[in-house]
Amino acid sequence: MKKNRGILNIFVAGAVLLLTLITGLFLNSNVSQNQNLGGGSGTINPLPIKSFLGLNDTPDSYSGQGSKIVSVKSDASGLEFTAPASSMVYPGAGIPLSTGSAWDTSITNNSANWNTAYGWGNHASAGYLTSLSGALLATGATTGATSSAQPFTLGVKTGKIFPASDSTTALQFLKADGTTSVLNVDTTNGRVGIGTTTPTSLFSVGSSSQFQVNSSGNIVSLNGVTTSFPASNASGVLTNDGSGTLTWAAGGGGITNSAGANVLTKSDGTNIVATALNEASAGVFSTTAGTAALSFVSTAPTATTGASQVGIPLTLTASPAVASTDTAGAAAGGDVTITAGDAARLTSGNAAGGNINLTTGTAIGTGYAGRLIITQGAYSQSIMLSSGGIYFGSSQGNHPPTGDSIGIGLNSMYGSVTGTKNIAIGTSSLRSVTSGAANTAIGFATGYGNAAYDDTNGLASAGIVTGSNNTLFGSYTNTALTSITNSTAIGYKSRISASNSVVLGNKEVTLLQLGSDSSDTQTARVIRAAGARGGTDTNTAGSPLTISGGVGTGTATSAPIYFATGDVGASGTTAQTVTTKMTLTGAGNLGIGTTSPSQKLEINGGMRLNTATAKPTCDSTTRGTFWYTQGGAGVKDAVEVCAKDAADAYAWRTIY
């Protein structure tokens, strides 16, 4: 509206100037007062009035008339100085104005003239500037001002906004705090930044330009990672060369369709062997005859500085079953089947079938060698092979079996660390073993050190820990010491309390029988100590055999050894009653027919000497020997004893 006011001032000033010129023309002309100016001849005399104040219908003085304007009196009798009006009436058309306020007074809505005067469209609709506020003109600059906040030239009309001079922060949209940049336009380098005042590419997003698009439209940075996208589109997948350069590749490995045939492809889109993998039947793939072996190998990670990179796993997984959405019932999961090839021949010859080779990775340093683990459902490590060891069970524990060891059962060889050649069959069998080797344990908790498994006599279940070369058969069979070696225990809860021992049964055992009951009564059962090797050892004595009763402690008497046989009974099938026939007491007394001999030899019954062999020479080695000689017909028997007389002469002395 200020512009319109200036036009009005110019209009008024121009009118005054024109009036002055016309007046001066008349005042300087030589025209008579009675001359008809419309025609005829005559002389026009000049008038003596040479100023505006000299007119007879104008004010007499300028004094006090500053800033006033010349106007015609209301009675049209002359001119006068008057103060300018505080408002004005606008013409109905021709001057484009917008609804608003001008010169402190509301004006008539003349938007229709704005809409039509210059063909600018409907300025009453949204999107046109209808007001200005201090938020737009930060320094209060007006149109045409030179302030950096308002250096616009025809900005609204042409849609152009540009700064007075280029800079890296020429144009900015700020948050309400007036300092935080939301959008920054760098007119020096021709860049736009969102969230940054220092964009590094044509378009940058993020405080450090993590996302960037260059002048060619290429995305050169994603999340701060340098990238370079291909210049044209293609089928397949994008692959990264490790330096950020992306290219199109046909598939990303796996089974893909190529020229109508199913083939295995590498990550670069090329076939492992051209058309090597064919679909023999629905979902079944096979290599073409004569091609190289088919291998699945996961790619090794790229070496980097710092921490070493773990190997990339390779997994073969069958699909899980899917439950019905509307019918009760269950379905089995998919199987994974690996089958080696059969051998073949025409008419003769032998050939092995194909092997299934599963090889684990080699360890470094003291690390454990790779384990072959077969997991059954929710149970862990159902089958595991490691360093020659085999484990069948679940929750194997701290360490796998090592060095040709075999573990079968839950927690068997649970703590095995370095022990080798151990065999544990049964839940918790050899669970305590650490470095013990060549132990065999069969049965529940066999060889497991656990006080809960002590026998009813309080004999400890120490378990085999470091002991070696032991054999334990039977549930809860155990050792009373952790370092027992070279011993055997057979039977439920039998306990070994010393190395180099054989234990049969526990305290409840009352019978040791060699062989099962049968009609075979002629076969002898022999218990003997180890002897010399016939055909190998020359003049070598056999090992002694010691038979002992149970050992006592302190001053207690040792247990005797009883020799018993069955008593002959009545005719029939009733088993005979076994009774003691000979007793060897802990004191060393031998009783025959008695269980409590008081002498070294006590016989309850007769004693017969029947010497059918030749009588030996009486000397110091046979001294004290009784000899009975049966006489022939008509000859009496003789009883002799080998004895020495006072002259130290040895001879058989006749008793009878």
Q: Tokens standing for 339?
A: 């089958």
Question: Is the same domain home to 613 and 490?
Answer: no
pLDDT < 50: residue spans in the chain:
1-8, 25-44, 88-107, 117-118, 125-158, 252-262, 273-276, 395-396
Q: What is the pLDDT of residues 372-426, one digit of tens each?
A: 677 666 555 556 665 556 667 654 455 556 667 888 888 888 777 788 889 999 8
- Based on the fold, state whether residues 488 and 615 are members of the same structural domain: no
Domain-terminating residue out of 454, 485, 507 = 507
538-568: string of b/e by CB count within 10 Å (b at 16+)?
eeeeeeeeeeeeeeeeeeeeeebeeeeeeee
Sign of CA dihedral 462, 464, 466, 469: positive
Q: Does 259 reside within a domain? A: no
Task: Check whether residue 492 and residue 614 sit in a common domain.
Answer: no
463 lies in some domain: yes
The answer to whether residue 478 is domain-embedded is: yes
Domain boundary, last residue among 462, 477, 507:
507
Which secondary structure element, helix H or strand E, spans residue 26, and what is its range?
A: helix 2-27
Inside any domain, residue 418: yes
| pLDDT score recorded for residue 288 | 55
Residue 625's domain comprises 609-656
pLDDT (tens digit per residue) in 562-606: 999 989 989 998 888 989 999 999 999 999 999 999 999 999 999
**What is the DSSP pairing of strand 471-473 with strand 423-425?**
unpaired
Domain assignment present for residue 339? The answer is no
Boundary (domain end) residue, out of 507, 525, 559:
507
CA distances from 492 to 414, 449, 453, 509, 565 (A): 22, 15, 11, 10, 27
Instruction: Write down the pLDDT at residue 48.
Output: 59
Domains: count for the chain: 2
In a domain, 261, yes or no: no
* Distance set, CA 474 to CA 446, 460, 495, 511 (Å): 7, 16, 11, 17
pLDDT at 97 (0 to 100): 44
State the residue for tokens 């004006």. 107
Does the pTM exceed 0.75? no
Is residue 571 a part of any domain in this protein? no
Pairing of strands 254-258, 191-194: unpaired
- The DSSP H or E segment spanning 357 is none
Distance CA 505, CA 489 (A): 7
Q: Is 271 contained in some domain?
A: no
Please give the single-letter amino acid code of residue 574: T
Number of Cα atoms under 13 Å in the Cβ half of residue 182: 6
| C-alpha distances in Å from residue 523, one per residue of 36, 254, 519 | 184, 71, 10
Return d(Cα 502, Cα 471) in angstroms, integer: 9
> Which residue type is seen at 426?
G
